[in-house]
Amino acid sequence: MDPFPKDGESAAAAEPSRGAAPSSGVVVQVREKKGPLRAAIPYMPFPVAVICLFLNTFVPGLGTFVSAFTVLCGARTDLPDRHMCCVFWLNIAAALIQILTAIVMVGWIMSIFWGMDMVILASKYS
């Protein structure tokens, strides 16, 4: 056997296999833990979520503000133990954070990601 691989051969192919261990078959489950603001994003119908994303893209916080009212109309969230008014105010707080920090671009980026989360939730649970 040549100590150097020839053209077209890799070094790993030139070495004999050293008994690779078979996979152990362990299943790992990952759960995303959401904070209260993020868990307050409502599950809306897909067209409403797209409109909120569009609004958040051009006027930071506006789509989040509109989505807060969908909570009052019965949209569910990942906060089932909280009252509807509490979830409404959490969404209003998120909208205000996005509006106030849009000046330094943080709120604008947060607003776009918030809108994308709305669309993702709507597409998963429609």
Q: How confident is the model at residue 20 (pLDDT cuts 50, 70, 90)?
A: low
Q: Is the pLDDT of residue 7 over 80?
A: no
Q: How confident is the model at residue 5 (pLDDT cuts 50, 70, 90)?
A: low
Q: Is the pLDDT of residue 61 over 70?
A: yes
Average pLDDT in the 57-82 region? 92
Handedness of CA 107, 113, 115, 118 (dihedral sign): negative
Least confident of 27-36, 55-64, 77-86, 102-111: 27-36
The residue among 17 and 53 whose pLDDT is bigger is 53
Residue 31's pLDDT is 78
Element (H, E) at 54: helix 46-58
Average pLDDT in the 60-74 region? 94
For residue 13, give both structure tokens.
């192919």
Identity at 54, one-letter amino acid code: F
Least confident of 12-21, 43-52, 60-69: 12-21
Q: Is the pLDDT of residue 36 over 90?
A: no
Between CA 92 and CA 98 the distance in angstroms is: 10
Q: How confident is the model at residue 82 (pLDDT cuts 50, 70, 90)?
A: confident
